[in-house]
Amino acid sequence: MTETIRTNADAAGSTAGAGTARAGADSMLRRTLGEQRIALVAWRLLVLQNAHPAVGAGVSQLSTYRNHPWRRIEHTMDSGRRLFFSDREALRREIQRLERSHHRISGTDDRGRPYTALDPAVRVWVLVTLYEAMTALRALSGRPLRPAQLDRLYREFREVCTAFELPDELFPPTAADVPGYIRATIRDTLELTEAAQDMLYTVLTRAPAPRRLGRLRPAWPLLRRIVARFLTALTLADLPPEFRAKFGLPRSRGAAVLSWLVHRGARTVALQLPDHLRYRTLPSGDRARPPQAAAPRRARTPRPRRDNRPGRIAAFYRQVMDQTGDGRLTSADFEAMAHNICWPLELDRAGESAVYAAFDTWWHHLLATMDADGNGEISCEEFVTAMLAGTDRDPAYLDQGLHVAVRAMFHAADRDHSGLLDAEEYRTLFGGSRVHPAELTHGFRQLDTDGDGQITEEEFVKGFTEFFTARTESVAGTQLLGRP
């Protein structure tokens, strides 16, 4: 049920797209972006983007990529699909959503330099690197685009970029000018930021197991090392020579051979595949294959009666609240949770502001009642201890914080303002390609205590209350994180 808070779009990782390409199978842009093998240059793309000081600072300070790297990649791709493969109305809504998200991404980096995600020059860099990644994919595969093809691809790309209304003079004028723009930005602007180094060397070494790993999940600690070494070697081999030279990044002969084999092999295989396997998104805009969510978990045999709250509350802290994955709660975690609630709902600015304000209220309530050592952060131990003490001492303890956020979630999801959540509104709030429909149906029925096919606000709040107060797992609310 709380999968939305754990897996919806990452604020700083959804900037990859802008606009609707020429529709149909003749669109070079759509054919290139829709291919499965575009994923081979995705990590390279993220390194280049995060090497920009403004992007790197925003990602390091406000993103949840360290704890949720797969979410960042998945939702960046999903956002790109909505922007590049949708009609004009869907494009407009997605750009508005990105504008609202980026409006909140600003601050000062560790060298005292102010940054904002709305800086036009920064946004142009993020967009142009996407175009450059498409051309690099073709070159790395041994089939570089000819000048006429580059001109066509760049023309289609610029057509879609107009939707962001960025100054034309910030873009390279022609396809032939893009390499010079990339080299100049590497030389004059890029830095080996903390976020870029994380992408290269450390994020994957501690990444959680992908939810779709299935029966291979127990082998993830071993697989993770293999995947991390593979992606690091491939990315180092594929980065522009100017980037590697500036920062002294090695490109071993083995990595060069790996890159040659992977890209040429992927091209050869892709040309033999039918479209539904070759493409993630077809040039028409349709998904090549419907997304397959993880299978629902089977219910476990109930355990003997005991107070299960400490473990349950600690799991909520780790899986839902600690969005940045650093083992402590700060205001950034609550901003990330608010963003993840707003992302699938397409709220207007007033609606989003109400959700953010509610989560800010929750944060300040917890800070006032849980920060025992006064350091402005809340550890897991502080959270569990104070939550148990607060709910045992005062039946209204949750009213002052958690319930404010939960009620805001309810009103945001209640799109028709009926005062009720139907099954479709519930799915929009908590669903997604990574949540199995059976789990959504189960969660909805658990909260619909009177069985009328609708969830009232009080039923919704009651479910969250039971999660934190019920001593056993025999009540509906204890299944917020899935079936016990």
CB 69 within 8 A of CB 231: no
Say how far apart CA 426 and CA 409 lie, in whole Å. Answer: 11
Angle at CA of residue 160, ends 158 and 163, nearest 5°? 110
Tens digits of per-residue pLDDT, 184-233?
Answer: 999 999 999 999 999 899 888 887 777 667 677 788 888 889 989 999 99
Tens digits of per-residue pLDDT, 443-470?
Answer: 788 788 778 888 899 988 988 888 888 8
Q: Token match 């991404």: residue?
A: 105
Q: Token match 């972006």: residue?
A: 33
User: What does the block give as tokens for 318?
Assistant: 């780790």
With CA atoms as reference, report the closest residue to 129 among 63, 44, 195.
44
Give CATH superfamily name and number for 309-479: EF-hand (1.10.238.10)
User: What does the block give as tokens for 198?
Assistant: 């994380």
Q: Across the strands, what pairs with 420? A: 456
Neighbouring residues of 155: CB distance < 8 A, sequence distance ≥ 6: none
Burial class (CB in 10 A: 0-12, 13-18, 19+), 340: buried
21 pLDDT exceeds 50?
Answer: no
50 pLDDT exceeds 70?
Answer: yes
> Computed from CA positions of residues 60, 62, 67, 73, in that sequence, does the dihedral angle turn out positive or negative?
negative
Tens digits of per-residue pLDDT, 412-426?
Answer: 999 888 999 888 888
* Mean pLDDT in residue range 132-141: 96
42 pLDDT exceeds 60?
Answer: yes
- The 3-state DSSP class for residue 422 equals coil
* Mean pLDDT in residue range 94-109: 80
Question: What pLDDT, on a 0 to 100 scale, did the predictor assign at position 476?
Answer: 59
Segments making up each domain of the chain, as ranges: 3-278, 309-479
* Mean pLDDT in residue range 28-37: 89
Confidence band, pLDDT 50/70/90 cuts, at residue 22: very low
Q: Token match 């057509």: residue?
A: 159
Question: What pLDDT, on a 0 to 100 scale, did the predictor assign at position 296?
Answer: 47
The pTM assigned to this predicted structure is 0.71
Question: What pLDDT, on a 0 to 100 scale, did the predictor assign at position 65?
Answer: 67
Residue 244 to residues 125, 187, 190, Cα–Cα distance (Å): 18, 11, 12
Least confident of 242-256, 398-412, 421-435: 421-435
Say how far apart CA 355 and CA 342 lie, in whole Å. Answer: 7
CB 82 within 8 A of CB 91: yes
Question: What pLDDT, on a 0 to 100 scale, did the predictor assign at position 1?
Answer: 44
Tens digits of per-residue pLDDT, 288-317?
Answer: 665 544 444 454 444 545 677 888 888 888
